[in-house]
A and B are shown apart, each in its own frame.
Chain A
Amino acid sequence: MKVLAAMSGGVDSAVAAARAVDAGHDVTGVHLALSAQPATLRHGARGCCTVEDAHDARRAADVLGIPFYVWDLAERFRADVIDDFVSEYAAGRTPNPCLRCNEKIKFAAVLDRALALGFDAVVTGHHARLVDGRLVRSVDSAKDQSYVLAVLTAEQLSHAIFPLGDSTKDRVRAEAAERRLAVADKPDSHDICFIADGDTRGFLARTLGAQEGPIVDAVSGETLGSHRGSFGFTVGQRRGLDLKRPAPDGQPRYVLSIQPKTNTVLVGPGELLDARQVRATRPVWTGRPAPSAPVECHVQLRAHGMVSPAVVTAGGEGVLAELRTPQRGVAAGQALVMYDGDTVLGSATITSAE
């Protein structure tokens, strides 16, 4: 096949491209420039999308002997991922930009362009497997990225290749070293790539403007403190509340909900965070047809962890998951991903939890 390998400059995508070459594909490497003014390490940027990352990706392509280009998708990324990230926070939800980038950039804008240009598929370094067109967790459960890919439709998955799903991250690094790829010992990126200093709250404050509001106790109704913008909070958050006085019961307080209209952050004791029912919208079913009867499965509610057995009922535009094990701090805006064992059945966007 003629395939396009998205190369971030990291070790995973470099090895994924190498394996695609070994598999006999005609591989072309592409680095996605997602920032109109790419930062450099000199500016203190971490994560991906720096000038150095573009260089690392190019060097890996050189070593593999494949053609390499940079595609400028900065404008699309700004509109589809960054602006969405900001408006989701402004609406009191907690978005996952990596998931959004997969959905709108890597497997939409890039895939569409690749198909139009005569490619058959897009190769990425995601840690996940594709088995008979269905998305399956990586064998390395700590590095599994099926959660951030679960938004993809069956059509998108049919043009995706994930060569790393059968390997652990350690194995990938070792292989990179064996292949003499200079990125073999490059640190993993953890931060949100467009927030170079890692300070999400600062980024949101700069973008949305700081605005003081109350932190209110859900039990007593008392105002326990103030904040400089409700968008800076995530459901389940405990640290950084900076309460002026303790709650009447002396127990720690967690963010229960964010009410952007009144710029209020509602806090309460941990047990009020326990959710048994999660509602989600815009479901995508790739591991099975949309079910007409309740389904026993596992649901994952955050990119890492927060997995529970559940009964999922699909109806209309949404799904309802009744959790067998209550989960603490389920945030609207995150994905609800449903698994049968390691296989992704489908996903939907969380709207509420109670």
Chain B
Amino acid sequence: MPYLDHAATTPMLPEAVSAVGEAMGELGNPSSLHGAGRRARRRVEESREQLAASLGARPSEVLFTAGGTESDNLALKGLYWARRNADPGRTRVIASAVEHHAVLDAVEWLAAHEGAQVTWLPVDATARVSSDMLRAAIASDPDSVAVVTVMWANNEVGTIQPISELADIAHEFGIPIHTDAVQAVGTLPVDFDASGVDALSLTGHKLGGPYGAGALLLRRDVDCVPLLHGGGQERDVRSGTLDVPGIAGLATATALAVERRDEVAPRVAALRDALVDGICSRVPGVQVNGHPSARLPGIAHLTFPGCEGDSLLMLLDARGVECSTGSACSAGVAQPSHVLIAMGASPAQARGSLRLSLGHTSTRADVDAVLEAIGPAVERAQHAGITSVLAP
């Protein structure tokens, strides 16, 4: 089955499956003091060291969480509260307009319930945030800023942000910066220490690890108020009995993804380029979205004129080609993508878009299956037109 939705979730690496299975067969709460507890704790700490080493972090900077959404919420709310507690004047959050909902909605929640003022950083037509924009946004009132958040790479169009430059600017003003690196870890070189960011979110299932296991990399010198209170695990920032199998799978997958990146990323990028070229030669008027070079290797985000992405998705699904119109939504109601709107697209353009994302198991056969199906699917979808939007 041609699976082109790796940005939603990518197949688990067999080594990660083994690591999870092995840990599941073993007894022990890592917080317990007896032998079983010590064995579980050892597995967790070895995983922590492995993950830290893979991502240029120190083991003490790794906080295990239940995934990307939790990491994003913990970082944003935790840093916001800590910074505001230290100085009540710090109530401003600066965020890019193209963040994932896990960041977007957490920021909006802070605005609605915690008195945050939000400065949304605009992006250019390729979804890039500019350093000058961030500098201007901070400089208008530096003392009011609690936290800055800009994703490492966008989950819909794949655009990579100049994250180190942005971190330098935030630090010039002494402001902490968080980045959602869920799509970046494993596919791009990510070095926590070298990047300069203060907090970084990642999750297992986007890089060949298990669902429901993630981490927040958080500098030791950055204060973060916890969301979850309890047993005081994870530096007292994230209480809760540790998910030993999930953590083992996450660390194994991250280490392997990073280790194999030099081989996998160029191969995936070449397949992606063949896919985009093939589609453009078969379907007239296709627009390729995102940055032409600063883009995740596996993502092809395309706008097809005069049709609904929903229709295309359904027609391709019927041909066995599995892809997405953008980010998955629990209610299943496709809102026009805020990412494309921020890039300047019209609602109709935003609705006529499809994300095809490749990953470590993608093959030339997957690309060929899409190329075979895409022409007739677009023709049919164009025939159906844009039903959801009223005719002008």
From A28, A69, A73, B387 is in contact (CB under 8 Å) with: A73
Is A58 an interface position by the 8 A CB rule?
Answer: yes
Q: Would B314 and A116 count as touching, CB distance under 8 A?
A: no
**A72 lies within 8 A of B310 (CB):** yes
Tell me which of A51, A67, A71 has the highest count of chain B C-beta atoms within 10 A of its own C-beta: A71
Q: Which interface class (under 10, 10 to 19, 20 to 34, 35 or more) fits B?
A: 20 to 34
Interface flags for B299-331 (1: CB within 8 Å of A; 0: not) read 000000000001101110110000000000001
Q: How far is the CA of A54 from the CA of B318 in the complex (A)?
A: 21
B390-A69 in contact (CB<8A): no
Q: Mark A63-95, 1 if CB is under 8 A from B, else 0.
A: 000010111111110010000000000000000
Q: Residue B392 at the A interface, CB < 8 A?
A: no
With A38-B331, A76-B390, A109-B387 already in contact, the answer to whether A118 and B310 are too (CB < 8 A) is no
- Say whether, besides A113-B387, A117-B380, A67 and B333 are in contact (CB < 8 Å): no
B270 within 8 A of A: no
Contact A31 B389 (CB under 8 A): no
In the assembled complex, B384 has its CB within 8 A of some CB on chain A: yes
Q: A109-B387, A117-B381 are in contact. Are A71 and B317 (CB under 8 A)?
A: no
Determine the residue in chain A with the shortest Cβ distance to B329: A70
Residues of A within 8 A of B388 (CB): 71-76
Contact present for A112 and B332 (CB under 8 Å): no
A72/B317 in contact, CB under 8 A:
no
Question: B365: CB under 8 A from chain A?
Answer: no
Q: Given A116-B383, A118-B380: A75 and B310 within 8 A (CB)?
A: no
**Is A117 a contact of B384 with CB atoms below 8 Å?**
yes
Q: Roughly how many angstroms separate A36 CA and B383 CA in the complex, as a whole number?
A: 25
Least CB distance, B179 to chain A, in whole angstroms: 30
- Among candidates B314, B335, B380, residue contacting A69 with C-beta atoms closer than 8 Å: B314
Output the nearest chain B residue to A108 by Cβ-Cβ distance.
B387
Known: A72-B310, A117-B311. A112 touches B387 (CB 8 A): yes
Which of B314, B384, B385, B390 contacts A75 (CB under 8 A)? B390
Q: How far is the CA of A31 from the CA of B333 in the complex (A)?
A: 9
Query: Contact: A70 with B387, CB < 8 Å?
Result: no
In the assembled complex, which residues on chain B have CB atoms less than 8 Å from the CB atom of A256? Answer: none
Q: Determine whether the beta carbon of B314 is less than 8 Å from that of A33.
A: no
B24 at the interface (CB under 8 A from A): no
B385 touching A117, Cβ below 8 Å: no
With contacts A71-B388, A72-B388, A76-B387 taken as known, whether A117 is within 8 angstroms of B332 at the C-beta atoms is no
- Residue in chain B with minimal CB distance to A30: B314
A-chain residues with CB within 8 Å of residue B387 when the two chains form the complex: 71, 73, 76, 109-110, 112-113
Q: Give the CA-CA distance A79 to B389 in the complex, in Å.
A: 10
Residues of A within 8 A of B332 (CB): 31, 33, 54, 58, 69-70
Report chain B residues within 8 Å CB of A76: 387-388, 390
Across the two chains, which residue of chain B brings its CB closest to A4?
Answer: B314
Within 8 A of B (CB), among A40-66: 51, 54, 58
**Which residue from B311, B317, B383, B390 sits with its C-beta under 8 Å from A67?**
B317
Docked CA distance A118–B388 (Å): 18
Q: Which residues of B contact A36 (CB under 8 A)?
A: 335
Chain A: CB-nearest residue to B384: A116
List chain B residues, Cβ under 8 A from A31. Answer: 332
A113 to B389, CA, bound (A): 12
B317 contacts A51, C-beta separation under 8 Å: no
The answer on a CB contact under 8 Å between A33 and B389 is no
Q: Which of B314, B380, B383 has the most CB of A within 10 A?
A: B314
Bound-state CA distance A118–B380 (Å) is 8
Bound Cα distance A117, B315 (Å): 8
A67–B318 contact, CB under 8 A? yes
Given contacts A38-B331, A51-B331, A58-B332, contact A71 B310 (CB under 8 A): yes
CB-CB under 8 A for A54 and B333, given A76-B388, A79-B390? yes
B334 is an interface residue with CB less than 8 A from chain A: yes
Q: Is the CB of A75 within 8 A of B389?
A: yes
Alpha-carbon distance A182/B332, docked complex (angstroms): 20
Nearest chain A CB to B3's CB is how many angstroms away?
A: 16
Question: What are the residues of chain B within 8 A of A109 when measuring CB–CB?
Answer: 387
A70 partner residues in chain B, CB cutoff 8 A:
331-334
Give every chain A residue within 8 A of B380 (Cβ-Cβ): 116-118
A67 and B384 contacting across the interface, CB-CB below 8 Å = no
Q: Which residues of B contact A51 (CB under 8 A)?
A: 331
Given contacts A72-B388, A76-B390, contact A38 B333 (CB under 8 A): yes
Interface string of B364-392 (1 = CB under 8 A from A): 00000000000000001101110111100
CA distance A108 to B41 in the complex (A): 62
A343: shortest Cβ distance to chain B, in Å?
32
* A54-B331 in contact (CB<8A): yes
Contact with B314, one of A38, A74, A112, A117 (Cβ below 8 angstroms): A117
For B332, give the chain A residue with the smallest CB separation. A70
Minimal Cβ-Cβ distance residue in A for B318: A67
Q: Are the CB atoms of A113 and B384 closer together than 8 Å?
A: yes
CB pairs A–B below 8 angstroms (16 shown): A28-B318, A33-B333, A36-B335, A67-B314, A67-B318, A69-B314, A69-B332, A71-B310, A71-B388, A72-B333, A74-B333, A76-B387, A112-B384, A112-B387, A117-B315, A117-B380
The 3 closest A-B pairs by CB, nearest first: A116-B384, A70-B332, A33-B333
User: Given A69-B332, A117-B314, A118-B380, 18 more contacts at CB 8 Å?
Assistant: A28-B314, A36-B335, A51-B331, A54-B331, A54-B333, A67-B317, A69-B314, A70-B332, A71-B387, A72-B310, A74-B333, A75-B388, A75-B389, A109-B387, A113-B311, A113-B384, A116-B384, A116-B385
